[in-house]
Amino acid sequence: MDEVKSNLMKDDGPIGFSKLWIVAMVVVAIYGFGLLLTITFKAYDDKPPIPELVVNLQGDILFTGDDIREGQAIFLRYGLMDNGTVWGHGAYLGPDFPALYLNRMAQRTAELLSLDQLELPYEELNEEGRSLVNSQVSRFLKQNNYDPEGKTLIFLPSQEYSLYKEIELWRIYFSDPVNNGGLKANLITDHTELKQLTTFFAWAAWASVANRPDTDSSYTNNFPYDELAGNTPTADMVAWSIASLLFLLCGIGGILFIYGKNTSWGWSMPDRPQVDYARVGVASHSQKALVKFVAVAALLFLGQTLVGGGVAHYRADPGTFYGLDISNIFPSSLLRTWHLQLAIFWIATGFAAGGLYLARVLGGIEFKGQRLLTNLLFFAFAIVIFGSLLCEWAGLLGCFDTITFWLGSQGWEYLELGRLWQILLIVGLVVWFFLTARASSPGLKRPSTKVLTLFFWIAALGIPLFYLPAVFFDSMTHYTVVDTWRFWIIHLWVEGFFELFATVMVATMFIELGIVSKKTGLLVIFLDVILIFMGGIIGTGHHWYFSGQTSFNMAVSGCFSALEVVPLILLTLEGYSFMRLQKASSPDGGGFRHKWTIRYLMAVGFWNFLGAGVFGFLINMPIVSYFEIGTYLTPNHGHAAMFGVFGMLSLSLGVFILREVCSDEKWHKVERHIRTAFWGMNIGLVMMIVMSLLPSGFMQVWDSVENGYWHARSLEFTSSPAMRIVGWLRMPGDLVFICLGAIPFFIATLKVWFTREK
C-alpha cells in the first residue's frame, strides 16, 4: 500500500480549520442528546397507565393488568406487528388493531344510546337524532374513568359489551388468510389467548380516546382520527406543523448560505484525477477477503427482493399464491419479518465490508492476523444472519413456544430477531469495530489524517453502541416505553449513525479518489455531525407523536427533522461535478476506474433528496402524520430512503471493493452486470413508487380524511377493486428491480469472487 500513490497517504501537514467547528459540534451534541434523553425519560411518566383492575359499573372484574401485558406478549409471539399496527406502527396487510376496535366500540355505544334515550335503532334515526347521539358517544368515550390511586379502570356498559363481542370477531379474523392478509389459518383459537389479546386491544383503544388528565386530548394526542369517537386533530398538531415547515426552510437556507459563502467548498475540480490508480495486486490479503462479504450481501439482497415480492403479492391476493395456499408454511408475517431483517443484514454487511476496506486504506498497514480475524468475523456474521432467519421461521410456526422470545422472533417490528441473536450481533459489531479501529489506527499518527481517522472511529463506534437499546425491553414492557427505545434503533441507529458513518466513508473514498480535498471532506463531515446532533437526533421523536407521549414531544420533534440529509447530498453533488469533468475530458466516459462507484453514490444523493428529504418530510409534519401514519406513504418513504440511500451506499461500497481487487481485463466482463444492475434497480424503484406505493398512499390518506383512519386501514378499503389494481401494479417494478437489478449484481459478485487473486 505504501508504494501506491494515495491522497490519504500524503503527509501534507495538519488540515487547517476553525476550532469553532469543534465547539459547535460539542454544543449541539450536548443539546441534541439532552433533549432526546428528556423526551425518552418523560415517556416513562407520560405513558398511558395500565390499570391493575378493569371493572364494570357493578364492580365485577372484567380483566386485569396482567391480562393486558399477556395480551401484548401474545400479539408479539404470533408476529401480529408484522401483520397490522398499534397506534400506526407495524405492518400494513392487517388493520390498525386499536383503531378498528375503537370504531366498533363507538358504533356499539351509539346503538345502545339510541335505544336507551330515543328508543329507536341508530340506523333509523334522522340527522338531528344521530347528531344528538353522536355527541353523547364522544362524551362517554372521552370520559376518563381511571382511578390512579386504586389503579382501577371502570368500563361503561358499551365498553363491557364491546369486550365480549370483540373476542369472537378476532377469532374469525385469525381463522382465514383471506380475512387477515395471509396469516396462518386458525392462527389463534385458544379462548384464553383470544381474550387476553382482546384486552390488549381494548386497553390500547381506551388510551386512544380517553382524555389525559387535565387536557382535552387523549393519551395518544387523539390518534386515530375517528369523528364518531370524538378523536379529531388538536390545535398543537396544526401549530407545530407550521412551525416545523418554517424551521426546515430556514435551516436549509442557512446551511446552503454557509456552504456557498465558504469558497473552499466550491465546485472547481481538476481536469483529470489527481491520482492514477492501478491498484490490482496491491490490495492486501485482508482486503481481498472482503469480496465474500460483498457476495453474501448480494445474496441476502436478492433474497430480500424475492421475499418482498411475496409480501406485495399477499397485499394484492392474500388468499393464495397463484392458486396455492402457502400461508401455513410461509405466512405473510414471516415474509415481512424476513423482508425487514434481510434489509438490515445485507446493508450492514456491506457497511462492515466497506468499513474494513477503508480502514486499511486509512491505516496503510496490514496488521498480522487481520485476514484471519476478518474471515472469523465473516463466519460469525453468517451464523447470526442465517441462524436467526431460520429460528424466526421456526418461532412463528410455533416450534419454540415459551422460548421464542430468546431464540425465535421477539415480534417487535425491525427488531424481530430473538434476544440471543441480538446479543451475538452486538458482540460481532464490537469485534468489527475493533478490527476497523486497529486497521485505521496508523492514520492517527499522520497530521493530515488524524482528524479523519478520529471521525472514522466515532462513526464506527456509534454502530455497536447505539444498537444496545434493543436489549432494554422485553415482551412485557409497556408499549410506549418499547416504542420509544425501538426508534432509538430504527431512526437514531440507522438514520443517525449509519448516515454519519456513510458520510465519513464517502468522504474518505472521495479524498482517496482525488475528487475532493481533505479539507473539503472534513468540513462536510463536521457539518454532517452538527446537523445530525442538532436535527436528526431530536427528530427521532417524530415517530412518537401518537405512541403515548405528550404534545411536548410533538413540539420539539416536529421542528427538528430531515436536516441531516444535506451533507451527503452535497458530497454526491461533488461526485456528479467530477463525473461531468471526466466525461468532458473523455467522450466515452472512460478513463476512470471507479466511475460506477461514483454513479452508485450519485444515486445515493438523488434518493437522499427524494426519499429521505421530500418523502420523509412529507409524512413528518404532525398534521400529515395524523392522517397518514401506517398508510402506504410510509413504505413509500421507507423504500426510497432505506434502499435508495443506505442500500445504494452499501452497494457502492461493494462496487468499490470489487473494482479494487479486479484487473481491467476481468472487470470488462463484470462491468456490464454492474451497469445493468444500476439502471435496473433505479428504474425498478421508480416504477414501484410511481405505479403503486405513492398512489396507494394518497388513496389511503384521502380515505382516512373522508371516512376515518380505521376505514383506510380496514380490509374493506385495502381489498377494494382500486386498491387491488394498484397493488398488482407493483409487479412490473418488482420484476425490473429483481431481474435487471438484484440478479445481475449478484452475478457480478460471483464472477469476481471465483476469479479473484487469492
The DSSP string of 245-294 is HHHHHHHHHHHHHHHHH-GGG-----SS-SS----TTTS-HHHHTTHHHH
pLDDT over 90 (residue 27): no
Shared-domain flag, residues 299 and 333: yes
* Residue 556 covered by a domain: yes
Ramachandran angles phi, psi of 147, nearest 5°: -105, 105
**Which carries the bigger pLDDT value, residue 620 or residue 676?**
676
Mean per-residue pLDDT for 177-196?
A: 93
E strand or H helix that includes residue 147: strand 146-147
What's the pLDDT score for residue 12? 59
Mean per-residue pLDDT for 622-633?
A: 94
Mean per-residue pLDDT for 65-69?
A: 97
Neighbours of 19 (CB within 10 A): 7
Shared-domain flag, residues 515 and 653: yes
Q: Which of 229, 228, 205, 231 is nearest to 217 (CA)?
A: 231
How many angstroms separate the CA atoms of 555 and 141, rounded? 26
Shared-domain flag, residues 194 and 261: no
Shared-domain flag, residues 36 and 78: no
Sheet with 146-147, edge to edge strand ranges = 61-64, 53-55, 152-154, 146-147
Q: How confident is the model at residue 607 (pLDDT cuts 50, 70, 90)?
A: confident
Fill in the DSSP letter of residue 506: H
Q: Is 679 helix (H, G, I), strand (E, B) or coil?
A: helix
Fill in the DSSP letter of residue 466: T
* Residue 3 covered by a domain: no
Residues with Cβ within 8 Å of residue 194, at least 6 apart in sequence: 167, 170, 171, 188
Separation in Å, CA 130 to CA 114, 126, 224, 302, 306: 8, 6, 22, 55, 50
> 250-304: per-residue pLDDT in tens?
777 776 676 666 544 444 444 434 444 444 346 788 889 999 999 999 999 999 9
Lowest mean pLDDT, pick from 58-62, 82-86, 197-201, 581-585: 581-585
How many angstroms separate the CA atoms of 129 and 126, rounded? 5
Q: How confident is the model at residue 633 (pLDDT cuts 50, 70, 90)?
A: very high
Check the CA dihedral 694-696-699-705 and report its sign.
Answer: negative
Helix then strand count (H, E) for the chain reads: 32, 6
Shared-domain flag, residues 142 and 282: no
Shared-domain flag, residues 176 and 265: no
What's the pLDDT score for residue 268? 42
What's the pLDDT score for residue 20? 80
* Residue 319 covered by a domain: yes
Shared-domain flag, residues 171 and 144: yes
Lowest mean pLDDT, pick from 49-63, 279-293, 416-430, 630-644: 279-293
> 437-459: per-residue pLDDT in tens?
999 999 888 887 888 899 899 98
> 536-574: per-residue pLDDT in tens?
788 788 899 999 999 899 888 877 765 555 555 555 555
* Residue 5 covered by a domain: no
3-class DSSP string for 188-224: CCCHHHHHHHHHHHHHHHHHHHCECCCCCCECCCCCC
Shared-domain flag, residues 154 and 281: no
Q: Which of 92, 135, 756, 14 is nearest to 413 (CA)?
A: 92
Q: Choose one of 173, 200, 232: the last residue of a domain.
A: 232
**C-alpha cell belonging to residue 313:** 403479492
* Residue 417 covered by a domain: yes
Lowest mean pLDDT, pick from 137-151, 317-331, 348-362, 619-633: 317-331
Mean per-residue pLDDT for 468-473?
A: 92
How many angstroms separate the CA atoms of 95 and 754, rounded? 47
Check the CA dihedral 410-416-417-420 and report its sign.
Answer: negative
How many angstroms separate the CA atoms of 402 and 415, rounded? 18
* Whether the model pTM is above 0.85: yes
What's the pLDDT score for residue 448? 79
Shared-domain flag, residues 147 and 240: no
Mean per-residue pLDDT for 140-160?
A: 95
* Residue 14 covered by a domain: no
Q: Which of 51, 39, 302 is nearest to 154 (CA)?
A: 51
**C-alpha cell belonging to residue 461:** 463506534
Neighbours of 400 (CB within 10 A): 18
* Residue 2 covered by a domain: no
What's the pLDDT score for residue 267? 40
Shared-domain flag, residues 197 and 120: yes
How many angstroms separate the CA atoms of 439 and 441, rounded? 6
Give the distance, in angstroms, between the CA of residue 487 and the centroid of all CA atoms in the same chain.
Answer: 9
DSSP 30-81: HHHHHHHHHHHHHHHHHSPP--SEEE-TT--EEEEHHHHHHHHHHHHHTTGG
How many angstroms separate the CA atoms of 272 and 17, rounded? 27
Per the structure, the count of domains in the chain is: 2
Shared-domain flag, residues 459 and 605: yes
Q: Output the average pLDDT for the chain.
A: 87
Q: How confident is the model at residue 594 (pLDDT cuts 50, 70, 90)?
A: confident
pLDDT over 90 (residue 192): yes
Lowest mean pLDDT, pick from 7-21, 173-187, 372-386, 738-752: 7-21
**C-alpha cell belonging to residue 438:** 486497529
* Residue 435 covered by a domain: yes
Question: Per DSSP, what are the bridge partners of residue 90?
Answer: 85
Q: Choose one of 190, 210, 232: the last residue of a domain.
A: 232
Mean per-residue pLDDT for 618-639?
A: 93
Mean per-residue pLDDT for 603-617?
A: 83
Q: Which amino acid, one-letter code, is at 286?
A: S
Q: For residue 506, give the CATH number of its domain.
A: 1.20.210.10
Mean per-residue pLDDT for 404-420?
A: 93
Domain limits for position 331: 20-42+236-755
What's the pLDDT score for residue 577? 59
Neighbours of 150 (CB within 10 A): 11
Ramachandran angles phi, psi of 728, nearest 5°: -65, -25
What's the pLDDT score for residue 336? 95
How many angstroms separate the CA atoms of 204 and 483, rounded? 14
Shared-domain flag, residues 37 and 173: no
pLDDT more than 90, % of the chain: 58
Q: How confident is the model at residue 221 (pLDDT cuts 50, 70, 90)?
A: very high
What's the pLDDT score for residue 505? 85
Mean per-residue pLDDT for 334-354?
A: 95
Q: Is 473 helix (H, G, I), strand (E, B) or coil?
A: coil
Q: Decide: 401 and 74 in contact? Cβ < 8 Å.
A: no
Q: Choose one of 168, 197, 232: the last residue of a domain.
A: 232
